[in-house]
Structure 1
Amino acid sequence: MASSRLPVAGFPHLALSAQDDDFRQKTLTRLRAEGFKVDHGLLVPPEGATSPAVIMAITHAFHEAQRK
């Protein structure tokens, strides 16, 4: 199964990737609650977000999506 990538705007070394669309949607829902947006095929972090903050937010959203 192919994995779809959603690059993170402003952080070319980061991308959200998931093989399961439902799991990806759960992760994105949690990221949106943290102020992220999806715009033109990019995951857009909140204004002023740093690389470590983006990584932590994605990691947290990923773990939360696993629990549900």
Structure 2
Amino acid sequence: FNWRKGGGSARMIEISKREHFYQQEYCGCAYSLRDTNAWRREKGREPIKIGVKYYGDDDDE
């Protein structure tokens, strides 16, 4: 079943914003966090901060 078809992705975002779900920026394992932050440092980007990014926080964009 492909939940993304038929508006599934949009519904997921809608529910996530309504319920104020945490928006994880990596797969969740320690290795991914380490590697993602290393990549972000190389690109001059801020490291991931766990527990601060939630769906709906950036609605003013």
TM-score using structure 1 length: 0.25
Q: Which has the higher contact order (CA 8 A, sep 6+)?
A: 2
Give the structure with the larger strand fraction: 1
Structure possessing the higher radius of gyration over alpha carbons: 2
What TM-score, normalized to structure 2? 0.27
